[in-house]
Structure 1
Amino acid sequence: MILAQAKLGIRVELTENRTTVFVVENPKMWRKIQKSFMRQVLGEEQGWILSHEETEIAWNKYVELILNPLLADENSKHILNKFLQSVQNVSVNEKRWMQYQKLNQVIQNFFYDMEMEFDFEYEIDESVDISKLAKAVGIHIVQEYDNDLERLIKYCILVRDLLKIQVFIFFDLKRYFSEKEIQDFYAEAMSRKWNIILFESSQFSILEEEKYYILDKDCCFIS
């Protein structure tokens, strides 16, 4: 996988056994990169290109941008919507089809019987939308964890499986976790073949699992 930005002269290859780390020394450039990523994951073209085997990766579909790991929300709108779609698909598959039909009939009968309580007639849809029903009963994803690192790992597993995320991009991850925690996170990521990119505002100790690149104070790219 390749990450490139022509104006900054960046073209780096991401590898499974090394985590790519960019140190951005210029605060103005740091903010600019962060804001451009925020726009790009919303579908705006910002000049950053991720590609795999010469096929460009859509940032708004396959890139997870995490600016603050403590705020990663497993029940955010885009995750919950995808989860509800999955619930709908599972509810009508071959394994669940008969259960769905029985549930649908129970709901139909309930509302038809309740019609007697009103002085007017009403209708309901013939088929129940399970995703809407799930939302109505307050379905949500439960994540139990003992510490912040475990929470982050479980969040990444969730969005990888549910949203089919191909690349995780973090900003200042090393300010939130110790060196040992970072190494544990790398070990988990490598075992699951995640593509991880870190952008740091200052340089920390270079770990064996990392490949460092620097955008210096003059915005010159050093590989």
Structure 2
Amino acid sequence: MILAQAKLGIRVELTENRTTVFVVENPKMWRKIQKSFMRQVLGEEQGWILSHEEIEIAWNKYVELILNPLLADENSKRILNKFLQSVQNVAVNEKRWMQYQELNQVIQNFFYDMEMEFDFEYEIDESVDISKLAKAVGIHIVQEYDNDLERLIKYCILVRDLLKIQVFIFFDLKRYFSEKEIQDFYAEAMSRKWNIILFESSQFSILEEEKYYILDKDCCFIS
């Protein structure tokens, strides 16, 4: 996988056994890159290109941008909508089809019996939309974890599975976690073959699992 930005002279290859780390020394450029990424994951063209085997990756579909790992929300609207869609698909698959039909009949009978309590007639849909039913009963993803690193890992697993995320991009991740925690995160990421990119505003100790690049104070790219 390749990350490129022509104006900055950036073209780096992401590898499975090394985490790509960019150190951005210029605060103005640091902010500019953040804002560019925030727009790009919303579908706006900002000049950054991710590609795999010469096929460009859509940022708004397959890139997860995490500016603050403490604010990663497992029950955000985007994730919850995808989760509800998955619940719907599972509910009507071959394995669950008979259970779905039985549940649908129970719900139909309940509302038809209840009609006698009113002085007018009403109708309901013949088939129950499981995703709407799940939302009505308050289905949500459980947020249980022992520490912040575990939460981050669980969040990444979740969005990888539900949203089919191909690349995770973090800003200043090393300011939130110790060196040991970062190494543990790398180990988890590598075992799951995640593509990880870090953008850091200052340089920390270079770890064995990392490949460092620098955008210096003059915005010159050093590889």
Deviations 1:114-154 (A, max 9, x none): 11111111111100000000000000011321100011011
Is residue 60 of structure 2 the alignment partner of residue 57 of structure 1? no
Query: Whole-Å Cα distance in 1 between the matches of residues 147 and 169 of structure 2?
Result: 21
Query: Whole-Å Cα distance in 1 between the matches of residues 143 and 17 of structure 2?
Result: 28
Query: Whole-Å Cα distance in 2 between the matches of residues 149 and 76 of structure 1?
Result: 19
SS in 2 for 1:139: coil
Deviations 1:95-131 (A, max 9, x none): 0000000100110111111111111111111000000
Query: Whole-Å Cα distance in 2 between the matches of residues 190 and 18 of structure 1?
Result: 8
- Name the counterpart of 1:121: 121
Normalised to the residue count of structure 2, the TM-score between the two structures is: 0.99
- Name the counterpart of 1:68: 68
Question: Cα RMSD over matched residues?
Answer: 0.6
How many angstroms does 1:51 deviate by? 0.2
SS in 1 for 2:185: helix
1:143 touches 1:154 (CA, 8 Å); kept in 2? no
Normalised to the residue count of structure 1, the TM-score between the two structures is: 0.99
Query: Whole-Å Cα distance in 1 between the matches of residues 83 and 58 of structure 2?
Result: 20
Is residue 169 of structure 2 the alignment partner of residue 157 of structure 1? no
SS in 1 for 2:82: helix
Q: How many residues align?
A: 223
Query: Whole-Å Cα distance in 2 between the matches of residues 5 and 152 of structure 1?
Result: 28
Please list, as runs of the form range in 1=range in 2, the aligned pairs for 1:180-195 lying within 5 A after superposition: 180-195=180-195
1:16 touches 1:194 (CA, 8 Å); kept in 2? yes
Runs of 4+ in 1 over 4 A off after TM superposition: none
Please list, as runs of the form range in 1=range in 2, the aligned pairs for 1:68-147 lying within 5 A after superposition: 68-147=68-147
How many angstroms does 1:43 deviate by? 0.6
Aligned-pair identity (%): 98
How many angstroms does 1:44 deviate by? 0.7
SS in 2 for 1:90: helix
Query: Whole-Å Cα distance in 2 between the matches of residues 190 and 93 of structure 1?
Result: 33
Runs (5+) with no aligned partner, structure 2: none
